[in-house]
């Protein structure tokens, strides 16, 4: 594909609802990252996959957050029982090799608003 694709672009959820955010990385990219970006802030790391293996999930803020990448391509970030503090832009990024060697390519993000 031409770039990293994220869907939906915008999501409004009522407090307590579950949401699922999708990321289609650039075809063939090994590494995939999820970041959370609050307004006026830099992105904060959530989790990292190398192929289908989740190598680091230390940034997930609570056990309500879950990410998967079962076939090493598309990834889904799931948030259960959403809270207002979950409102943010969720960014997905991929890179062609291990993260330390190649640039990150970001999608346009999903803006989540919890009411």
Partner 1 sequence: KQEVTQIPAALSVPEGENLVLNCSFTDSAIYNLQWFRQDPGKGLTSLLLIQSSQREQTSGRLNASLDKSSGRSTLYIAASQPGDSATYLCAVSDGNQFYFGTGTSLTVIP
Chain residues binding partner 1 by CB under 8 A are 4, 6, 33, 35, 40-45, 48, 55-56, 59, 91, 93, 98-109
Residue keyed to tokens 């990834």: 75
Chain mean position to CA 14: 20
CB atoms within 10 A of CB 62: 11
Residue keyed to tokens 């904060």: 44
Closest to partner 1 by CB, 74 or 83: 74
The distance of closest approach from Cβ of residue 4 to partner 1 in the complex, given in angstroms and rounded to an integer, is 7
The distance of closest approach from Cβ of residue 52 to partner 1 in the complex, given in angstroms and rounded to an integer, is 16
Closest to partner 1 by CB, 18 or 52: 52
d(CA 105, CA 6): 12
The distance of closest approach from Cβ of residue 47 to partner 1 in the complex, given in angstroms and rounded to an integer, is 9
């Amino acid at each position: 594909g031409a770039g990293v694709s994220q869907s939906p672009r915008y999501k409004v959820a009522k407090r307590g609802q579950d949401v699922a955010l999708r990321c289609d990385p650039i075809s063939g990219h090994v590494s995939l990252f999820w970041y959370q970006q609050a307004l006026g802030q830099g992105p904060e790391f959530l989790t990292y996959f190398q192929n289908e293996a989740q190598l680091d999930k230390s940034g997930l803020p609570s056990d309500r957050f879950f990410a998967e990448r079962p076939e090493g391509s598309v990834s889904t970030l799931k948030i259960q029982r959403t809270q207002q503090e979950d409102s943010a832009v969720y960014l997905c990024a991929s890179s062609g090799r291990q993260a330390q060697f190649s640039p990150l390519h970001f999608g346009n993000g999903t803006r989540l608003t919890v009411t």
